[in-house]
Amino acid sequence: MVKSGGGTVTGYGLAAAQLIRIKDSGLFLTVCVDEVAASGGYMCACVADCVVASPFAVLGSIGVVATMLNYTDLMGKAGMHVDEVGLGLG
Residue 90 has pLDDT above 60, yes or no: no
- List pLDDT tens digits, range 7-62: 777 888 899 999 999 999 999 999 999 999 888 888 899 999 999 999 999 898 76
Residue 70: the pLDDT is: 63
Global confidence as pTM: 0.63
Q: Find all residues with CB under 8 Å of 9, minimum gap 6, and list them.
A: 40
The domain locations on the chain are 9-87
Residue 6: the pLDDT is: 78
- List pLDDT tens digits, range 67-78: 667 677 676 677
